[in-house]
């Protein structure tokens, strides 16, 4: 029983601290001792989801269900079923069934996804900001770095973790021509969320829904009786900002909110003003919001308006910067090994029939020689990539044109 408590506490601590790999190990050990702990199964499902491996999470659920049926003749509890349903729904919304993380064996190179490498400290920084935001101190975090360095990847992994912690996540992405489309990333973030809401009127009064309908005209289709938004040119913008701020605050009262805005360097001026307004509102209301932004460092340096906006934002809310550096040589090697699926090959080799191994040409150490060769080749490839990318400026292994052109700049 005390051991159970120890595993429970340790894994809770690791999960909430974003220590996902250690949490996975702790939970695996816990389940080895107690095959019937639904709490451990649920936590392990969440950790796999946060690690970006929905297929593994689903497998944990299947095992849990089978064990309970086999040994106790019961179904999983409502909490476990709810989590499974959540996984099923999010897989369906992505248009596919939970799929195992792709490997070099199963997918063409363009779809490879390696585990997140070398970003543990950055991830911890994000988790710490999230914890503060969840405690009622709204925060801004800026993930910054060169093109292709892994800003989106880190943000994606983090929001998956935050979602598994029960946070609401909204995200929008600015794009290069976006300057001519005011508010587009905010519309992208808010629109689908409101559409999915059963009763938006529980979140916002009609007056504010009416103002919001300037951004989201589909609201008028759903609520034809909404009053007309203000006709006063001067107050229209202010009212719109207020409506967005109220909506996000209402969501944050239900559960902590992460608003991810990608590629801030392309954000239009109107959205920048809105973000500034939101920051003031959240500060005044102690909203449980984390505003997470990704930005190319070189673009900020070239854009004085954006630099000024960021300084201004810092007057209202604490702004933490998460600068991403190129991967180290060892991390690059680790990445290459992960892509090559070396671990899996190792497992397969052990399963090969003995006679097959002894039939190999090398007589000295028949089982090890091919493995060593592969290892040497991978180390060589890792070193090569590290050198080619000037200390791994590009962490992308896909054969995208930017990589092939040898420009060294990868745009993911």
Ligand X SMILES: Nc1ncnc2c1ncn2[C@@H]1O[C@H](COP(=O)(O)OP(=O)(O)OP(=O)(O)O)[C@@H](O)[C@H]1O
Q: Site size for Mg ion, by CB under 5 A?
A: 2
16 touches Mg ion by CB under 5 A: no
Question: Distance between the two ends of the chain, CA-based, in angstroms?
Answer: 48
The phi and psi torsions of 319 (rounded to 5 degrees) equal: -110, 120
Are 362 and 381 a contacting pair, CB within 8 Å? no
**Least CB distance to Mg ion at residue 60 (A):** 30
Rounded to whole angstroms, what are the CA distances from 332 to 80, 118, 399, 409?
38, 9, 17, 16
CB atoms within 10 A of CB 173: 17
CB of 191 to ligand X, least distance (A): 22
Distance CA 389, CA 395 (A): 8
Pairing of strands 319-323, 139-145: parallel
Give SS3 for 140.
strand
Question: Can you read off the two tokens belonging to residue 38?
Answer: 């639904």
Region of 135-143, 151-159, 230-238, 340-348 interacting with Mg ion (CB under 5 A): 151-159
Binding residues for ligand X restricted to 92-151, rule: CB under 6 A: 114, 116-119, 145, 147-151
Closest distance of CB 332 from ligand X, Å:
10
The answer to whether 333 and 379 are in contact (CB under 8 A) is yes
Residue with smallest beta-carbon separation from Mg ion:
152
12/55 with CB nearer ligand X: 55
Binding-residue total with ligand X (CB under 6 A): 20
Tell me whether residue 159 or residue 243 sits nearer to Mg ion (CB atom): 159
Rounded to whole angstroms, the Cα distance separating 367 from 17 reads 41
Three-state SS for 86?
Answer: helix
Task: Classify burial at 201, counting beta carbons within 10 Å of its beta carbon; exposed 0-12, middle 13-18, buried 19 or more.
Answer: middle
Q: If contact means CB under 5 to 8 A according to the sort of partner, which of ligand X, Mg ion, none does residue 153 touch?
A: ligand X
Closest distance to ligand X from the beta carbon of 116 (Å): 5
Site string for ligand X, 52-81 (x = CB under 6 A): ------------------------------
Q: Residues 43, 134, 153, 246: which binds ligand X (CB under 6 A)?
A: 153
With respect to ligand X, which residue has the nearer C-beta, 116 or 257? 116
Q: Which does 322 bind (CB under 5 to 8 A by kind): Mg ion, ligand X, none?
A: none
Q: Which does 119 bind (CB under 5 to 8 A by kind): ligand X, Mg ion, none?
A: ligand X
Please provide the size of the chain in residues. 412
- Rule CB under 6 A: say whether 382 interacts with ligand X: no
Task: By CB under 5 A, tell whether 152 contacts Mg ion.
Answer: yes
**Per DSSP, what are the bridge partners of residue 261?**
172, 293
Angle between helices 2-16 and 38-50 (to 10 degrees): 20
Q: Is 372 exposed, middle or buried (0-12, 13-18, 19+ CB in 10 A)?
A: exposed
CB of 118 to ligand X, least distance (A): 5
Residue 178 interacts with, from ligand X, Mg ion, none (CB under 5-8 Å by kind): none
Q: In whole angstroms, how close is the CB of 294 to Mg ion at the nearest point?
A: 6
* Identity of the residue, 16 or 152, whose beta carbon is nearer to Mg ion in the bound complex: 152
CB-wise, 222 or 297, nearer to ligand X? Answer: 297
Q: Which residue spans within 235-358 are E strands per DSSP?
A: 257-262, 289-296, 319-323
Residue of minimal CB distance from ligand X?
150
- From ligand X, Mg ion, none, interface partner of 76 (C-beta below 5 to 8 A by class): none
Q: Could you say whether residue 173 binds Mg ion (CB under 5 A)?
A: no
For residues 226 and 209, is the Cβ–Cβ distance under 8 A? yes
- Note whether 296 binds ligand X by CB under 6 A: yes
> Among Mg ion, ligand X, none, what does residue 219 contact (CB within 5–8 Å per kind)?
none
Interface residue with ligand X, options 49, 260, 335, 340 (CB under 6 A): 335
* Cβ closest to ligand X, residue 140 vs residue 338: 338
Question: What token pair was written down for 43?
Answer: 């936590």
The residue among 159, 403, 147, 140 whose CA lies nearest residue 265 is 147
**Partner whose footprint covers residue 149, from ligand X, Mg ion, none (CB < 5 to 8 Å by kind):** ligand X
The smaller minimum CB distance to ligand X, of residues 22 and 412, is found at 412
Percent of residues in the chain assigned helix, strand, coil, to nearest 5: 60, 10, 30
Which residues contact ligand X by CB under 6 A?
114, 116-119, 145, 147-153, 296, 335, 395-396, 410-412
Which residues contact Mg ion by CB under 5 A?
151-152
């Amino acid at each position: 029983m005390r051991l159970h408590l120890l595993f429970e506490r340790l894994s809770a601590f690791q999960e909430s601290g974003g220590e996902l790999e250690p949490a996975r190990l702790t939970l695996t050990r816990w389940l080895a001792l107690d095959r019937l702990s639904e709490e451990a199964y649920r936590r392990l499902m969440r950790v796999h989801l946060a690690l970006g491996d929905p297929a593994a999470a689903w497998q944990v659920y299947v095992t849990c269900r089978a064990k309970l049926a086999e040994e106790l003749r019961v179904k999983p509890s409502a909490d476990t079923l709810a989590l499974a349903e959540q996984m099923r729904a999010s897989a369906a919304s992505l248009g596919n069934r939970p799929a195992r993380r792709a490997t070099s064996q199963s997918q063409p190179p363009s779809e490879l996804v390696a585990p997140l490498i070398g970003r543990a400290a950055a991830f911890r920084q994000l988790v710490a900001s999230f914890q503060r935001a969840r405690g009622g101190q709204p925060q801004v975090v800026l993930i910054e770095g060169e093109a292709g360095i892994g800003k989106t990847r880190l943000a994606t992994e983090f929001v998956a973790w935050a979602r598994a912690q029960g946070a609401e996540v909204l995200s929008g992405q600015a794009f290069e021509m976006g300057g001519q489309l005011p508010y587009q990333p905010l519309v992208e973030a808010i629109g689908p969320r409101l559409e999915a809401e059963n009763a938006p009127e529980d979140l916002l009064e009609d007056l504010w829904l009416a103002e919001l309908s300037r951004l989201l005209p589909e609201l008028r289709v759903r609520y034809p009786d909404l009053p007309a938004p203000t006709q006063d040119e001067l107050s229209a913008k202010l009212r719109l900002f207020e409506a967005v701020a109220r909506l996000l605050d209402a969501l944050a009262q239900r559960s902590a909110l992460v608003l991810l805005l990608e590629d801030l360097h392309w954000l239009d001026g109107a959205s920048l003003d809105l973000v500034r307004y939101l920051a003031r509102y959240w500060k005044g209301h102690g909203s449980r919001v984390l505003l997470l932004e990704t930005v190319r460092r070189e673009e900020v340096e070239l854009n004085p308006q954006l630099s000024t906006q960021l300084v201004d934002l810092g007057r209202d809310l604490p702004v933490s910067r998460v600068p991403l550096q190129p991967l180290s040589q060892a991390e690059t090697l680790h990445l290459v090994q992960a892509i090559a699926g070396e671990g899996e090959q190792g497992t397969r080799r052990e399963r090969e029939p003995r006679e097959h191994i002894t039939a190999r040409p090398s007589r000295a150490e028949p089982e090890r020689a091919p493995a060593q060769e592969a290892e040497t080749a991978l180390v060589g490839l890792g070193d090569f990539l590290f050198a080619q990318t000037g200390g791994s400026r590009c962490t992308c292994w896909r054969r995208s044109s930017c990589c092939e052109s040898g420009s060294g700049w990868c745009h993911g």
